[in-house]
Structure 1
Amino acid sequence: MEITDVTATTVDVPLVDLDERLGIGPYVTNHGRVESMERVLVRVDTDEGIAGWGEMRTFLSPAATESIIEDGIGPLIEGQSPFEVERLRRQVFIEYTNIELFFAAVETACWDIAGKALDKPVFELLGGATAPYQTTAMNAAAGGADAADDRAVEFAFCLGILSPEESRVKAQEALDAGFSVLKTKAGRDWQQDVARIQAMHDEVDGQLEFRLDPNQGWSLDQAVRVGAALEESGIFLQYMEQPIRVNAHDSLATLRQRLRQPIAPNEDTYIPNNLRSLVEAGAMDVAVLDLTPAGGIAGLRQQAAIVEDAGVPFTHHCAFDLGIRTAAILHAVHGIPGFSLPPDTTYYGWEDDVIADPFTVEEGRMTVPDEPGLGIDVDLDTVEEYRVR
């Protein structure tokens, strides 16, 4: 089997408004606000008529992202086997550029093709169900039910920066919907960040765990104040995600020593070889990984092995994923050993999806498809409806 074509299409799908149940738009972060999100859908075709799909966000612009994938990566891999994902990932190399993050969606599509050709879901190609919380906690919650329950993956609810009172409402909605973990953005005002966590913790009477993510928005002293203020309130986060800038691993280690709040690098893990540096510096309690900057599912598996070997728990990041990448994440965290904390998601916050049979979020969980490949079909009419021209 040979790859014959690689195409990329950008869609722009709106978010559900904040006024609606589980709505999150506009989603405010330290860097801006989002009311809709452009996603690039990547299709890889083969000479045997089997096509696979991948998904990523736009970089710079839709046209620029599509061009890199179609005109840059496509010619490098056409005529080669989609089964050889490790070799393809190492072959796609361009000086001065982390081209792996553009290759990731193509690589995911190759896994999709391989699964379809072998009539196996991707998680089986990865070795089968492995994550501890799927084989223990999830079974207990389901009362030891059927195989679909064994494939249920718990997710964390994600929320943008809101006022403390608005955050209260959303925390209660998340709890009522069955989520046990809420991640909120931060970094614009550290005192307000503290106040929001305190308000949400009070609203749900401590029944939710919290992740606080300023996207590098705090200085070291501000991060110390945030962590200490929450400790004094009796609130211990599941983790503080990337509290300070990347490549400051000694400062992260200092922060970890000064606080009892777990420290979880995210953007730091996007930089090649940083995981080993973070481990050696003693700079993380949790790793927040992402298959896109890792170069795809195979790259994610490599990163997972590094942190698992170091005894560091890890989870998966969310980047406003539609159904294609959500499916890839489901297969990855179910099939790669070591994922022990719920991945992030905003899937409940989309007005629509490009897959024919969208995932259902029930009690904060989604089920890993057991159909061949990623187990999803793309609705081309919906793609055309939201296509960016």
Structure 2
Amino acid sequence: MKITNVEPIVLKAPLGEPWRIGTAVFTSMSSVLVRVDTDEGITGYGECMVRFAPAAAAAVVEEILKPVAVGQDPFEVELIWDRMYQVMRGRGHSKGYMLEAMSGVDIALWDVMGKALGQPIHRILGSYGRTTLPVYASSLLFKPTEVLVREAEELAAQGYGAMKLKIGQGVEPDMRNVREIRRALGDGVKLMVDANCAFDTLTALQLGRQLEAAGVYWFEEPVAPENLDGYTKLARAFDMPVAGGESEFNRWAVKELMVREGIDIIQPDLARCGGFTEARK
């Protein structure tokens, strides 16, 4: 089997109301799908998670990654991944749009393999035997406290046993939302928070102590991804788990967080970190 074409497909849709988080405001949602065709008529699809300028990721797929992949055997996914990465690593492009674009191609290759073998991807990767997985509702965005409480109650009524609240507005407003949601839900629903890298280390430390006292289940992306010393300081200061990794793009960056003991829960994003091939490492 050989790859005959790689096509990026830009998707963009307006939002009914802006999504506000700690470090951005979104008025639309964007993504890039990647379609990989083969000479045996099997087509695979992948996704590049691109929130801004999706045309940039599409250009990387079309102009840099497509020439690498076309003509290759999709089952040689490790070789294709390494060749895609090598094209730009010497030019400093080992994160960001390059890895997001690679993610879409890689996921599509795994989709091709799954379809060719007639198996779901989890079995090809080496299934752990699970038939169900716990889920949580994500996310409660920046809105008035009374609206957040109502949305949290609605999610709990739907059966969600855990949900995530976006924070990053400041210690007092963030804690007000946490307290009111916790009061409404009681202790039977897990509440996690996600700062989307909004805080400096000192503010995250001050807020984190209060979050821990309030029974928050984890504190996600409290500081900027390059602030490795901050992650380590926070992870050592709390019994509450520190989560993150969504803003990292390869195994070497995540390894550094792990070696420094700066993270308790790793959250790689398949559509950003290089796809299945990189995430499993």
TM-score w.r.t. the length of structure 2 is: 0.90
Equivalent AA in structure 1 for residue 271 of structure 2: T
1:186 equivalent to 2:167? Answer: yes
Matched residue count: 273
Greater strand content: 2
Match of 2:201 in 1: 220
**Which residue of structure 2 aligns with residue 297 of structure 1?**
276
In structure 2, the gaps of 5 or more residues are none
Residue 85 to residue 34, structure 1, CA distance change in 2 (3 Å) = same
Deviations 1:65-86 (CA, angstroms, capped at 9, x unpaired): 2221112110111000111111
Closer, same or farther: CA 180–301 of 1 in aligned 2, 3 Å: same
Report the equivalent of 2:121: 122
1:112 aligns with 2:111: yes
Judge conservation of contact 2:232–2:260 (CA < 8 Å) in 1: yes
Tell me what 2:220 maps to.
Answer: 241
Residues 210, 270 of structure 1: CA spacing in aligned structure 2 closer, same or farther, 3 A cutoff? farther
- 1:332 corresponds in structure 2 to none
Flag the 1:252–1:60 CA change in 2: closer, same or farther, 3 A.
closer
* Alignment RMSD (CA, Å): 1.9
Instruction: In structure 2, give the amino acid aligned to 1:5.
Output: N
Task: Give me the whole-angstrom Cα distance separating, in 1, the residues matched to 2:250 and 2:48.
Answer: 17
Conservation of the 8 A alpha-carbon contact between 1:40 and 1:55 = yes
- 2:230 aligned residue: 251
Q: Does 1:157 align with 2:137?
A: yes
Q: What is the 5 A alignment of 1:1-389?
A: 1-15=1-15, 25-58=17-50, 60-92=52-84, 93=86, 94=88, 95=90, 96-98=92-94, 99-130=98-129, 135=130, 150=131, 152-158=132-138, 159-232=140-213, 235-267=214-246, 269-270=248-249, 272-302=251-281
> 2 CA distance for matches of 1:188 and 1:57?
25
3-state SS of paired residue (1:120): coil
Amino acid of the structure 2 residue aligned with 1:220 = T
The percent of aligned pairs where both chains have the same amino acid is: 27
Structure 1, unaligned stretches of length 5 or more?
18-24, 136-149, 303-389
Give the superposition deviation at 1:258: 2.3
Distance 1:58 1:251, change over 3 A: closer
Letter in 1 for 2:4: T
1:231/1:39 CA distance change after superposition, 3 Å: closer
* Residues in 2 aligned to 1:50 and 1:126: alpha-carbon distance in whole angstroms: 20
After TM superposition, what 4+ stretches of structure 1 lie above 6 angstroms from structure 2?
Answer: none
Relative contact order higher in (CA < 8 Å, ≥ 6 apart): 1
1:59 Cα offset (Å): 6.1
Aligned-partner residue type, residue 176 of structure 1: A
**Higher alpha-carbon deviation: 112-121 or 28-37:** 28-37
For residues 129-159 of structure 1, what are the alpha-carbon distances to aligned partners after superposition, in whole Å with 9 as ceiling and x for unaligned? 44xxxx4xxxxxxxxxxxxxx2x33322112
Are residues 35 and 157 of structure 1, via their aligned partners in 2, closer, same or farther at CA, if it must alter by over 3 Å? Answer: farther
CA distance in 2, matches of 1:31, 1:50: 40
Q: Distance in 2 between matches of 1:183 and 1:39?
A: 22
